[in-house]
Amino acid sequence: MTDLAKLTLVESIKHIKEKKCSASELVGAYIKRIEKSDKLNCFNTKDLENAHSKAKKIDTNQKLDKTLVGAPIAVKDLFCTKGVKTTASSKILSNFIPTYESTVTEKLWNEDAILIGKLNSDEFAMGSSNETSNFGNVLNPYRLNNQNLVPGGSSGGCASAVAADLTSATIGTDTGGSIRQPAAFTGIVGLKPTYGRCSRWGIVAFASSLDQAGPMTKDVKDAALMLDVISGYDEKDSTSAKKPKSSFLNSIKSNVKGLKVGIPKEYRVDNMPKEVDDLWKEGIKILKDNGAIIKDISLPHTKYALPTYYIIAPAEASSNLARYDGVKYGFRAEGKDLTEMYENTRSKGFGTEVKRRIMIGTYVLSSGYYDAYYLKAQKVRNLIKIDFDNAYKNVDVILTPTTPTPAFKFGENVDDPIAMYLNDIFTVTANLAGLPAISLPIKYNKDGLPLALQLFGKSFDEQTLLNTAYFIEQQVNFKSQVKDWWMS
Amino acid sequence: MSINKDTIKKISKLARISVTNEETDRLEKDLNSILKFVEQLKKLNTDKITPIASVSDQLLTMSEDEVKKINEKKEILQNAPDKNTNYYIVPKVIE
Amino acid sequence: MSDKEFNYYISGETGKWEVVIGLEVHAQVSSNAKLFSSSSTKFGSEPNSQVSLIDAAMPGMLPVINKFCVEQAVRTGLGLKAKINLLSVFDRKNYFYADLPQGYQISQFKHPIVGEGEVILDMPYGTKKIGIERLHLEQDAGKSLHDQDPTKTFIDLNRSGVALMEIVSKPDLRSPEEVAEYIKKLRSIMRYLGTCDGNMEEGSLRADVNVSVRKIGSKEFGTRCEIKNVNSIKFMQQAIQYEAKRQVELLEDGKKIDQETRLFDTKNNETRQMRSKEDAHDYRYFPDPDLPPLKFEQTFVDQIKKKLPELPDDKKERLIKDYKLSNYEAGVLISDKDTSDYFEDVAKNSDVKLAINWVIGDLFAALNKIGKSIKESPISSKNLSKLIQLIKNNTISGRIAKEVFELMINDNRDPKVIVEEKGLVQESNVDELEKIIEKVLKDNSEKVAEYKSGKDKLFGFFVGSVIKESKGKANPALVNDILKKKLS
Ligand SMILES: [Mg+2]
Ligand SMILES: [Zn+2]
């Protein structure tokens, strides 16, 4: 019998629709794995019993016509889920139970997907290794000589859960690379849609002008299907875009003939490992050999993207996180008066990295520094956007590596915030410019760790991105080598 | 520009996050290294560049002036650490 | 010195000081729903019963702007003859307070929706133009109750998120009287427009009062203090008087004024410092990334302009022109839209001179006595108009009219019905009147003799007696004529 948990999302749904298996059987297969996978620490909250009963209910349905019928899906613990604890992996929200459902998760359940739990992440999505979570590290299913590796971050729990077949697909959030970098580290597909493509309503905010929800899946078709479901205009989010869309999955085409692919020279950074450089060349070759037109392009302000990001994101975060004050919900530490209660609550409720970013954000917005930092960053952000506008006059997509290195060991970068921030060096530009980008696993390095390439698309042109990624995926034929070592 | 301990105190006050002396030392080091990193931007001349707060070209959409769902007080107060049937409760405000 | 000359100065030991005042008026938009959420703005509801997830700053909640509030800000701007900005931006004003659930207030800082305008005041010493600096939209905060418990503060978020227009004047005001006139005029303009009900008891209109003093003739402004949130005209005036005196005393003692925020203690009738310099606010304004800029076309403004009602200044001009009213009379009428509407309704079918006298004389006095506004007047404009017609066509005398008026105050009946029912129709039949007059002259033959011997003053006595004899119904003009003939 097929191992149901190994099926892709598209295959699982086909199984259910064709009655090759029941929703209960599919959910059961995942639950069986989840129950043996605590060592990975992917879940902040499991919702297995409810998942079981919802699957049973679906099995009694006459029609199994919903798009995600019976698919067991865990989501990043940043999406508010009605009646299910939502913590943002922070102590300050450790007991928060929303009375409402985020727009994007609502869309999943409306299509008969089944919530099986909430996935670990960096605290408030601030991190690149999942080491800042209040609920402990998430392990990458891939190891280096039996040593544990980080899954990447901030959607680390999502990435490991998909790679370890603990969820049939998931949605994460990407503010500076938080979907794509962990996807790259765990050998899965991660798509950050265009800013405004998916509603932010009901997602714990980190940096509002950069945050975007997106799919993390076993393959490209799954990503297209998930995007079909979660995208769309939402009148509750003023930054949500009124763009027409058809089905990304149904429109997917495996063809790159005549596709103009830009290769930005600024992404060839110092100290880039040879294996990453080779990977990039391989990607270029595949596209070229199949009729794509390769063009060298320049995105001259690329090196200013990270500094820009580390002004804008903390500035917005310092304001977005002001609501966590021990009054309306969440953790409270007492104090003799209101101010002391605030200071104690926020000091004990937030972790080190979150506090660091709130402090930096507060500083760059404070009187006397606003122009030098925040306003300056807003201007450079425009320059970065203009870089892409110019590039897209000549190319359809842009190809780069997703990350400068494969997954690393725990503790490797924790003492040096800048070293950690460099993880996002190839991914942040998409957030600053609001563009869609996808990370696609390509191959394994000599140590058996996944390596990934990234494609940037034009604004609201996720389709070309998906088409190109789908084509490459078929060429490279990347197969999971996860060995279930953590299971007892 | 660099941040000293007094500035850390001032920011922590503004951000309502109390810091111990030990944390202040650590923060002084980290924040200065982050500031040094972001100050690369100073090299760039941006005199004629328009600052952008967001990349979206969305116009602000507006809603009608209709009172919609009125939330149950219970629902609103449900997660509050301290409350009674009508109010959120906080320690006394001292001006 | 004539009392028609401006003369509000503080006399100190070193000479006379001029008081310079600027106001930041907070006017609640008369909307059904809040500025960024769809919860109700109704006054006096149960605590925390009008709070949406957005107003309570639940994680992931996003603001969506209420179109009506935008329109009212534009309408008010047009009423202030101000520049309407087709592009404005919402900013976050960051600070912590128990009744500010988001940890920031959404306001407009650098780019307000309305720019410079003006308000004209009618002062005894002539008209005075007060400059308007700007008008912007912002959210109200909730309410903190400090007196319910000795160690706790209670929070009610019903007001949290209610739409306010902050109207900032230039420092053009020079006395408590001008401030009172300014507030009244502003309130009247907004009531004409229907944009704010101006109800100060319910907090729909309050002001921050900026006060500084300078020596007469000095061109430079002194250091100002801001007295926060004063909610009645009387308190504003008292606060200014106290504050100006305090500042003069300090300056004359050779001390300096600290620019600071103060509050007005209504019990002790004094202003007090609110917070120390040390925790002076640094609001860290920055554009709210949840809200794209507010842009509209000139046609949007033009459409609103087309539907604008007649405003107090125009109405005054028209009343003077059409009804030949005095400046004073027109001024009294237009200070309140309901009053001028009422007047026009009365005057339409009766007599202008009588109408103005009855409205600002008898009716005002009567309403004052029973504590009702003109809108609640027990006498409808239609019935007052009828009463005046009865005087005009000699059906009743002015004296009888007063009697009928008193009766109408109790039940607002048609004056015709009252007059008929009580048989109060004026006696204008010459034969009947002659009979009464002859009786009176016969009864007072000695007085007739005295009159004829030159005591002219007695004429009034005869008139009075005749009217009395007729139970008030005798037509006084006819009585006069007949008496004159008979006594000559
Ligand atoms: Mg003010
Ligand atoms: Zn204000």
Same domain, C253 and C314: no
* Confidence (pLDDT) at C136: 98
Least distant ligand from the CA of C136: 2
CA of C156 to the centre of ligand 1 (A): 22
Query: Active-site residue numbers of A?
Result: 76, 154, 178
Model confidence at A121: pLDDT above 90:
yes
In this structure, are strands C261-265 and C270-273 parallel, antiparallel, or unpaired?
A: antiparallel
Same domain, C93 and C174: yes
pLDDT < 50: residue spans in chain C:
1-2
The residue among C421, C452, C467 that closes a domain is C421
Chain A interface disruption, residue of C48, C62, C67, C104, most A CBs within 10 A: C62
Task: Say whether residue A379 is in contact with chain C using an 8 A CB cutoff.
Answer: no
pTM: 0.92
* Confidence (pLDDT) at C243: 97
Q: How far A93 CA lies from chain B's nearest CA (Å)?
A: 10
Q: Which residues surround ligand 1, an ion (CB under 5 A)?
A: C 24, 208
User: Is C136 inside any structural domain?
Assistant: yes
The residue among C391, C421, C451 that closes a domain is C421
* Confidence (pLDDT) at C2: 46
* β-sheet bridge partners, residue B91: C152
Pick C291's closest partner by Cβ from A203, A238, A339: A238
pLDDT band at A55 (very low <50, low <70, confident <90, very high): very high
Model confidence at A168: pLDDT above 60:
yes
* Confidence (pLDDT) at C276: 57
Express each pLDDT in A185-243 by its tens digit: 999 999 999 999 999 999 999 999 999 999 999 999 999 999 999 999 999 999 999 99
What three-state secondary structure class fits C238? helix
∠ CA A215-A219-A221 to the nearest 5 degrees? 80
User: Is C392 inside any structural domain?
Assistant: yes
CB contact under 8 A, C59 and A323: yes
First to last CA, chain C: 51
Chain A's closest residue to B87, CA to CA, is: A328
Q: Which residues, 6+ apart, have CB-to-CB distance to C282 below 8 Å? A: A366, A367, B14
Q: What is the mean pLDDT of residues A369-385?
A: 97
CA of C206 to the centre of ligand 2 (A): 10
* Biggest distance spanned by C-alpha atoms of chain C: 100
Tally of structural domains, chain C = 3
Pick B31's closest partner by Cβ from A306, A326, A360: A360
Express each pLDDT in C113-147 by its tens digit: 999 999 999 898 989 999 999 999 999 999 999 98
Do C189 and C119 form a contact (C-beta atoms < 8 A)? yes
Q: Which residue has the higher pLDDT, A421 or A99?
A: A99
User: Is C13 inside any structural domain?
Assistant: no
What b-and-e string marks burial along C421-454, b requiring 16 or more CB atoms within 10 Å of the CB?
Answer: eeebbbbbeeeebeebbeebbeebeebbeebeee
Same domain, C52 and C187: yes
* Confidence (pLDDT) at A9: 98
Express each pLDDT in C173-223 by its tens digit: 999 999 999 999 999 999 999 999 999 999 999 999 999 999 999 999 999
Q: Which residues, 6+ apart, have CB-to-CB distance to C68 below 8 Å? A: B64, B65, C29, C31, C32, C33
H/E element holding C332?
Answer: helix C327-334
CA of C107 to the centre of ligand 1 (A): 12
User: Is C3 inside any structural domain?
Assistant: no
- Boundaries of domain holding C442: 430-487
* Confidence (pLDDT) at A43: 98
Same domain, C411 and C280: no
Same domain, C146 and C97: yes
* Confidence (pLDDT) at A418: 82
* Confidence (pLDDT) at B51: 96
* Domains of chain B as residue ranges with CATH: 5-43 (1.10.20)
Least distant ligand from the CA of C26: 2
Pick C38's closest partner by Cβ from B62, B67, B87: B67
ipTM: 0.97
Chain A interface disruption, residue of C38, C143, C278, C284, most A CBs within 10 A: C284
C31 token code pair = 């909307």
pLDDT band at A464 (very low <50, low <70, confident <90, very high): very high
Task: Say whether residue C262 is in contact with chain A using an 8 A CB cutoff.
Answer: no
Chain C's closest residue to A104, CA to CA, is: C60
Same domain, C360 and C440: no
Task: Say whether residue A382 is in contact with chain B using an 8 A CB cutoff.
Answer: yes
Task: Say whether residue A311 is in contact with chain C using an 8 A CB cutoff.
Answer: no
User: Is C296 inside any structural domain?
Assistant: yes
Same domain, C301 and C331: no
Tally of structural domains, chain A = 1
Q: What is the mean pLDDT of residues A35-60?
A: 97
Beta strands in A227-375 (DSSP E): 260-264, 293-297
Do A330 and A96 form a contact (C-beta atoms < 8 A)? yes
Do C76 and C190 form a contact (C-beta atoms < 8 A)? yes
User: Is C270 inside any structural domain?
Assistant: yes
Least distant ligand from the CA of C107: 2
* Confidence (pLDDT) at C280: 65
* Confidence (pLDDT) at C1: 41
H/E element holding A289?
Answer: helix A274-289
Task: Say whether residue C168 is in contact with chain B using an 8 A CB cutoff.
Answer: no
The residue among C305, C339, C371 that closes a domain is C305
Q: How far B52 CA lies from chain A's nearest CA (Å)?
A: 5
User: Is C453 inside any structural domain?
Assistant: yes
What three-state secondary structure class fits A448? coil
Of the candidate ranges A94-103, A223-232, A257-266, C394-403, the one whose mean pLDDT is the lowest: C394-403
Mean pLDDT of chain A: 96
Query: Which CATH number covers residue C462?
Result: 1.10.10.410
Task: Say whether residue A376 is in contact with chain B using an 8 A CB cutoff.
Answer: yes
- Boundaries of domain holding A298: 1-488
Pick A327's closest partner by Cβ from B11, B41, B88: B88
Chain C interface disruption, residue of B63, B66, B78, B79, most C CBs within 10 A: B63
Model confidence at B35: pLDDT above 80:
yes
Same domain, C290 and C148: yes
Q: How far B54 CA lies from chain C's nearest CA (Å)?
A: 7
User: Is C161 inside any structural domain?
Assistant: yes
Calpha distance C294→C66 (Å, rounded): 12
Distances from the Cα of C56 to the Cα of A206, A345, B93, C7, angstroms: 18, 18, 19, 50
The position carrying tokens 């009212």 is: C72
Chain A's closest residue to C283, CA to CA, is: A366
C219 token code pair = 């061109």
CB contact under 8 A, C40 and B77: no
Same domain, C317 and C213: no
How many distinct helices (H) and strands (E) make up chain C?
Answer: 16, 17
Q: Which residues, 6+ apart, have CB-to-CB distance to B32 below 8 Å? A: B2, B3
CA of C74 to the centre of ligand 2 (A): 17
* Confidence (pLDDT) at C487: 83
Query: Which CATH number covers residue A334?
Result: 3.90.1300.10
H/E element holding A56?
Answer: helix A48-59
Same domain, C269 and C251: yes
Same domain, C250 and C107: yes
